[in-house]
Chains A and B, each alone.
Chain A
Amino acid sequence: MSEWIEACGADDIDEEDVIRFDHAGHTFAIYRSPDDEYFATDGLCTHEQVHLSGGLVMDDIIECPKHNGRFNYKTGEAKGAPVCVNLKTYPVKIEGGKVLIQVG
């Protein structure tokens, strides 16, 4: 069953940035885009399981801090070598200044 869980406050993330969120043994990355929208993906790069939250957000791209694998964090799409497997994305909504993501 899917459920909405509270990940963080909307203000906890800077614009064009990312933070890590761990829940029930799973790690997520929560993004705030330059146009002030929020997104969520799996937290680990599909190449070598590195935390994407240490990476750089540029427009709609998250770049892995380790080997520069790039993903579109809005769609999860892998943007070329060394990453070839897409990132799983999760629905996000903002309620009462909180970022909620739908998991499960």
Chain B
Amino acid sequence: MSGGMVIIGAGECGGRAALTLRELGYDGPVTLIGDEPHLPYERPPLSKDAMVADAPAVKAIASEADLVEKTITHLRSVTVESVDSVAKRVKLAGGGELAYDKLLLATGAAPRKLPMPGLGKRCVYLRTFSDVLAIRQHLKPQSSIAVIGGGFIGLELAASARRLGVDVIVIEAQPRILMRGVPAEIAAVVHAAHEAHGAKILCGAGIAAINDDGRKVRLTLADGRMIDADLAVIGIGAVPRTDLAEAAGLRIDNGIAVDAMLRTSDPAIFAAGDCCSFPLAVYGGRRVRLEAWRSALEQGTLAAKNMLGHEEPVSAVPWFWSDQYELTMQIAGLADEGSGTVRRDLGENAFILLHLAGDGRLVAASGVGPDNAVARDIRLSEMLIAKGARPDPAALASPDVKLKKLLSG
């Protein structure tokens, strides 16, 4: 009997893969295994809308009825113990086995743990909807939180907490916030917005000690300063969940290594989303791992196609966004591929930095502004990047020149 398709990980990526298998007409068994108790859901709202909504709810990508109608078996709160790639079987924790024809690992990433003693109940991480519910209990006016790490998640959480009237301090070890992937000029705008909204940010601040007595947490900084808070939220990055893949003997290289078709070193096993590294054609096959919602969605869709033999390579340009207060940041491409930048001012405090490689290719675009002021030009930049275009820097710098024109030119 056919084992069908088994997907480990029921987030955006795994959930999307399951739906796509059905959309493409696959009629064998599809089993989606998730270690959370919820329907497959979108994670981006967790640090934003879900954190401030009166009645937080998961934003499910499929309803229970959808899954039933599409005969997708969704196993909730189930952990996979091991993958036997020879027998093509998945062993579930607590007993039970599933056979597969093709397996997709969409195991995602887990918050990087702060390797320090002294962490207790008042030191938490944010990755799941259950984490949101736990954190929200402490977000009340007059309460205080310390956010450890000035990356996307920490800063979005900080902005949400300020909206709820919570006292916020962000502690970043690096000399500035958003060191990874965001240009300094844009990080400065975001930093200023936080200060204007009453959040404190300390950069270049190492943490020497943490004392968490279960009711309060005290952070002692390297310079001796002490910070007391009702809750410390740690957002210092994420690590790919590769343990099943490693134990199954799959090749690992900054995540589960896959080829352009999202195949692992075992041809019956695919990996997609935050857990995998893949060659990015637009940068000459440079191997990258992305922790991004759109990539999870696109790769989940693509993995499903390739599990059915479509042989379609990854072709996307990386794209990220972040919302903090009234600002939206959008980044297309990887800025570190560039050697120079051109600034394009869009008015209303919105601007885009266009990153050019030495040979004139547009390789990335990073923008910030109120609401969606940068969205169109970032999207057009993304299309220019995908084309390998070498636009005239003077045209890029001039807001009167429409990027759409450069695209057709």
Name A's B-contacting residues (CB within 8 A): 16, 50-51, 54-56, 63, 65-68, 81-82
A68-B321 contact, Cβ under 8 Å, with A55-B376, A56-B376: no
The chain A residue with its CB closest to the CB of B323 is A66
Bound-state CA distance A83–B19 (Å) is: 13
Q: Name the 4 nearest CB pairs between A and B, nearest first.
A: A65-B375, A54-B372, A65-B372, A56-B379
Interface readout for B291-303 with A: 1 if CB under 8 Å, 0 if not? Answer: 0011001000100
* Cross-chain contact B16 with A81 (CB below 8 angstroms): yes
B372 touching A66, Cβ below 8 Å: yes
Chain B residues near A51 (CB, 8 Å)? 371-372
Residue B42 lies at the interface, judged by CB distance under 8 Å to chain A:
yes
Q: Enumerate chain B interface residues (CB-CB to A < 8 A).
A: 16, 19, 42, 61, 293-294, 297, 301, 319, 321, 371-373, 375-376, 379-380, 404
Within the assembled complex, what's the spacing in Å between the Cα atoms of A50 and B48? 15
Q: How far is the CA of A7 from the CA of B372 in the complex (A)?
A: 22
Q: Min CB distance, B260 to chain A, in Å?
A: 21
B184, chain A: closest CB distance, angstroms: 25
- A66-B321, A68-B294 in contact; A82/B376 too (CB < 8 A)? no
Q: Please, which residues of chain B bring their CB within 8 A of the CB of A50?
A: 372
- Expressed in whole angstroms, the minimum distance between the Cβ of B401 and any Cβ of chain A is 14
Q: Is the interface of A mostly helix, strand, loop or mixed?
A: loop
| Additional 20 contacts, C-beta under 8 A, given A56-B380, A65-B379, A82-B297 | A51-B371, A51-B372, A54-B372, A54-B373, A55-B376, A56-B375, A56-B376, A56-B379, A66-B321, A66-B372, A67-B293, A68-B294, A68-B319, A81-B16, A81-B19, A81-B61, A81-B297, A81-B301, A82-B42, A82-B61
B61 surroundings in chain A (CB, below 8 A)? 81-82
Closest chain-B Cβ to A1's Cβ sits at a distance in Å of: 34
Whole-angstrom distance from the CB of A83 to the nearest CB of chain B? Answer: 11
- Please, could you name 19 A-B residue pairs with CB atoms under 8 Å apart, sorted by A? A16-B404, A50-B372, A51-B371, A51-B372, A54-B371, A54-B373, A55-B379, A56-B379, A56-B404, A65-B375, A66-B321, A66-B372, A66-B375, A67-B293, A68-B319, A81-B16, A81-B19, A81-B301, A82-B42
Q: In the complex, what residue of chain B is closest to A14 when comparing beta carbons?
A: B402
State in angstroms the CA–CA spacing of A87 and B294 once bound together.
Answer: 22
A67 to B44, CA, bound (A): 11
